[in-house]
């Protein structure tokens, strides 16, 4: 696989994961409870993982 194709796929995957995590946080916020809090924390951890994978490239 070409490097440019791989780069486009990685950026697309990161964008989709980040958008999914944000959507989960927004939808879980409407209901109160410990379960929803755990879901939001997991989604925020996903966002941190996406950020870490992005920053690893520029170390």
pLDDT tens-place values along the chain, 59 residues long: 788 899 999 999 999 999 999 999 999 988 889 999 999 999 999 999 999 998 987 77
Domain residue limits, the chain = 3-56
Q: Please tell me the pTM assigned to this model.
A: 0.82
User: Contact at 8 Å (CB) between 40 and 28?
Assistant: yes
∠ CA(42), CA(44), CA(50), 5° rounding?
105
As a whole number of angstroms, the distance between CA 40 and CA 45 comes to 9
- What distances in angstroms separate CA 46 from CA 1, 4, 5, one per listed residue? 27, 25, 24
């Amino acid at each position: 696989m070409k490097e440019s194709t791989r780069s486009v796929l990685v950026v697309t995957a990161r964008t989709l994961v980040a958008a999914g995590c944000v959507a989960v946080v927004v939808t879980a916020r409407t209901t109160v409870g410990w379960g929803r809090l755990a879901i939001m924390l997991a989604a925020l951890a996903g966002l941190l993982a996406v950020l870490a994978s992005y920053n690893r490239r520029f170390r």
